[in-house]
Amino acid sequence: MLATPDLAGIWPVFASLAGAVTSNPTAPVAVNAGFGWTAAGVWTAVLMLVGIVIRQIGPWRKQTIEAEQRLRDDLLGRVTRLEQVRDRERRRHEAERALDRHRLNNVTQCFDALLLLIEAAPEKASDTVARIKEMRATQLKAESLEKAAIHAVDIAEEAEAL
């Protein structure tokens, strides 16, 4: 048999366990596996943590939805501004193209008139050139006014957009 230390003086529980083990080594030993204060504290903490997380899901979700809404509104505002800028640039481009077509038509008209007058009366070429220069000066003034009108519209639209 094994020698057992004297545990009765230290802890009586150990002494009874030591006696049980030495007298019948195959006998089951009762272990106190009850529900103690430590386990109760752990379960209380876990349940409180779960409760806090569950209560915070609503505010977190609301915050996420509000952030997404702000982002969506911001993006829609930016898209609207970009569309306005694009439309303004398109109108300006169309006006400039119309001015260029008008200018090209004027130059073609002057050139055709010069050729026609020189063919009809070559001796009056100097008078014809002077008349064509006057016509071109009038056309250039009209083109300058059209350019100024286009730029005035641009300035007005930019001031309106601000």
Residues 6 and 60 in one domain: no
Q: With contact defined as beta carbons under 8 Å apart, do 98 and 149 qualify?
A: no
Q: Given this model, what pLDDT does residue 29 score?
A: 58
Residues 99, 150: contact at Cβ < 8 Å? yes
Co-location of 117 and 86 in the same domain? yes
88-137 pLDDT, tens digit per residue, is 899 889 988 988 898 898 889 888 888 888 888 888 888 888 888 888 88
The larger pLDDT score, comparing residue 138 to residue 126, is at 138
- The pLDDT tens digits of the residues spanning 17-51 come to 555 555 666 666 555 556 677 878 888 899 999 88
Residues 76 and 95 occupy one common structural domain:
yes
On whether both 143 and 90 belong to a single domain, the answer is yes
Please report the pLDDT score of residue 7 as a whole number.
47
Q: Which domain range does residue 4 map to? A: 1-33
Q: Are residues 97 and 145 in the same domain?
A: yes
HSE-up of residue 85 (Cα within 13 Å, Cβ side): 7
pLDDT of 81: 92
Instruction: Give the global pTM.
Output: 0.50
What's the rounded Cα separation, in Å, for the pair 114 and 120?
10
> Do residues 10 and 57 share a domain?
no
What total of structural domains would you count in the chain? Answer: 2
Whether residue 113 is found in the same domain as residue 73: yes
The pLDDT of 127-154, averaged and rounded, is 86
User: Does the pLDDT value for residue 12 go beyond 60?
Assistant: no
Same domain, 12 and 59: no
For residue 80, pLDDT over 90 is answered with yes
